[in-house]
Structures are given as C-alpha cells and as structure tokens.
C-alpha cells in the first residue's frame, strides 16, 4: 500500500516539475508567434500557419528553423480546441498557481470525449444483455441435467407408454412440471440489471413519497380518512422489513388485518413473535437433549 502512495506522488511531482509554459509556447505568446489576436478562429489559425510556413520553412531559401519550430508549436497549441481553451485561461489568469494551471490543462486536454452518462447507460445495457443471455444458458444447462437424471427418464418412459404421444412431446410436457429455482431459474424481467437499477431508483422515490403521504395525509395512521388497501400492505411490509419477493409468499391478509401501524398492535405482535421464538428454541433444545441421551444409550 505504501508503494502506491510513493508512485502517486512521483507522478504528481513529474507532472508539476515542468512549468505550465512548457505545455504551450514557453516565454513566447502563441498568438503573437502566428501574428494573430487572442480568440482567433480556427480558419484564421490555419490560414496564418500556412502563410508563415511558406516563409520560415527550413527548406526555403530564407527559411528560419528555430522560428519555424516555434510557429509549429504555437499552431499545435492553438489548432486544438482543448489546448487553446487551456491556453486562453492561462493568459487570462497569469498570476494563478502552477498547480491550478496544470489542473486546468489536464482537465481540458484529457477530459472524456463521450458523455459519461451515455457510457454508463450503454455499459449497463450491455451487461444486462450479457447477464440475461448467461442466465438463459444456466437455465438450459439445468434443464439438461434434469433430463439426464434416472427419475426423469423413468417418468418419461411411463408416460409414453400410457399415452399416444411421441417421446419428444412427452419430454416437453414433463418439463413443464419441472420447477427450477434460485440462480439456475429462468431469468425474470425484473431481475435484469438495468430494470433492477431503475426499480431501485423508483423504490427510493416512492418510499420518500409514501413517507410524506403517511405523515401528512394519513397523520401517521391517526387520520379519520380510510387507508387504501395498497397503502396498508406497503406500510405493513415496511414495518416488518419484508422484501417484495418474500412479501408475495406470506399471509398478507392476516398481517394487514393486524393494523401494525398502530403502536399497541405492533407491540403485541412483537411480543407474540418473541414468545414463538422462545417456544421454538425450547422445543428444539429438548429434542437436542433427547438426541444426546439417545446417543449415550447407544454407546
């Protein structure tokens, strides 16, 4: 870890060891080298560079190599919009620190050419497609393993004897009864990353909206107005900390009917759950003791 800091500081030192002037035209003014006014357009810069190149190019009879090198350097700075912007800012703020000008230079020159939001969106979409295709592949692999089991083959053979369908038709009908859960299950639409991300963002805003609605519209459940069934379910789900997928598998009606948003009802419910847990632990501890006694007898 310490070496990473050393490398980082070496990079920073290397970047700042050169004067910001060296990034441009040294002590000369890039615009003056090309006989231009500050803020000149690209068409003017190109035109002036071509004319000066004819005059100062070393291959010409009256050429001047040192001056030509400066002209080329000035053209390289001003012909690129990023470096030109950084240079204009340097001219406008000559008294700012070297660190500031280095920062602005690298920010202008090496900033992302593509909108980062587009990059993130496209990347997420591509990863979602890859995830979806991979999940389908895993599901097909799981189906293939099921079809190779002895039990599945036995069921197919028995059903084929009892029906007039072909073996392939029997296999397809039998596969409809196969339920594969977990990571190997067929991917659901809401499990795709891009949809899951959008749903997560939506759930945050909906949770905020519901919190305000519950507090100011329902007055924390104390208002005289009737609470809608949807809001009752959502509030109960929040109070119990149950995920949406698990909520679909519990007895929602009995839980909602308890009106757990009322503090007294919630306290009563928590007490019931505590007693059930204690009873469960006690029952299992007794079974464990019985099992240990049985083991001793068998020894």
Does residue 10 have a pLDDT over 60? no
pLDDT value at residue 205: 94
Nearest-angstrom CA–CA distance, 60 and 44: 23
What is the C-alpha separation between 74 and 190, in angstroms, rounded?
Answer: 56
How confident is residue 177, by pLDDT bands cut at 50, 70 and 90? Answer: confident
Task: State the pLDDT at residue 11.
Answer: 54
pTM for this one?
Answer: 0.50
Rg (CA), the chain: 37
- Tokens (6 digits) for 282: 């006690």
User: What confidence score (pLDDT) does residue 3 get?
Assistant: 52
Contact 62, 55 (CB under 8 A): yes
Contact 105, 111 (CB under 8 A): no
Query: 90 and 24 in contact (C-beta within 8 Å)?
Result: yes
Q: Which of 89, 87, 65, 90 is nearest to 76 (CA)?
A: 87
Dist. CA 195–CA 125, nearest whole Å? 9
186 in Cβ contact with 142 (< 8 Å) = no
Contacts of 152 (CB under 8 A, 6+ apart): 146, 174, 178
Report d(CA 199, CA 193) in Å as an integer: 10
pLDDT for 58 beyond 50:
yes
């Amino acid at each position: 870890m310490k070496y990473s800091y050393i490398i980082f500081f070496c990079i920073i030192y290397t970047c700042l060891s050169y004067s910001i002037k060296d990034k441009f035209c040294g002590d000369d003014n890039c615009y003056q080298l090309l006989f231009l006014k500050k803020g000149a357009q690209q068409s003017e810069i190109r035109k002036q560079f071509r004319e000066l190149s004819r005059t100062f190019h070393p291959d010409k009879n009256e050429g001047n190599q040192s001056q030509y090198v400066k002209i080329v350097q000035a053209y390289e700075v001003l012909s690129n919009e990023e470096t030109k912007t950084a240079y204009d800012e340097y001219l406008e703020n000559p008294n700012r620190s070297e660190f500031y000008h280095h920062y602005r230079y690298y920010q202008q020159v090496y900033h992302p050419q593509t909108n980062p939001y587009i990059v993130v969106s496209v990347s997420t979409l591509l990863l979602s497609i890859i995830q979806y295709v991979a999940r389908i592949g895993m599901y097909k692999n799981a189906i293939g393993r099921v079809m190779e089991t002895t039990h599945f083959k036995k069921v197919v053979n028995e059903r084929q004897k009892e029906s007039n369908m072909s073996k392939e038709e029997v296999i397809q009908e039998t596969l409809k009864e196969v339920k594969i859960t977990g990571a190997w299950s067929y991917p659901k639409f809401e499990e795709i990353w891009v949809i899951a991300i959008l749903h997560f963002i939506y759930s945050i805003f909906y949770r905020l909206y519901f919190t305000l609605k519950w507090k100011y519209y329902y007055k924390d459940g104390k208002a005289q107005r009737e609470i809608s069934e949807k809001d009752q379910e959502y509030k109960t789900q929040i109070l119990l900390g149950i995920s949406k997928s698990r909520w679909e598998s519990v007895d929602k009606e009995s839980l909602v009917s308890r009106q757990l948003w009322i503090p007294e009802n919630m306290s009563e419910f928590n007490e019931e759950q505590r007693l059930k847990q204690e009873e469960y632990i006690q029952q299992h501890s007794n079974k464990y003791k019985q099992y240990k006694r049985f083991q001793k007898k068998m020894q």
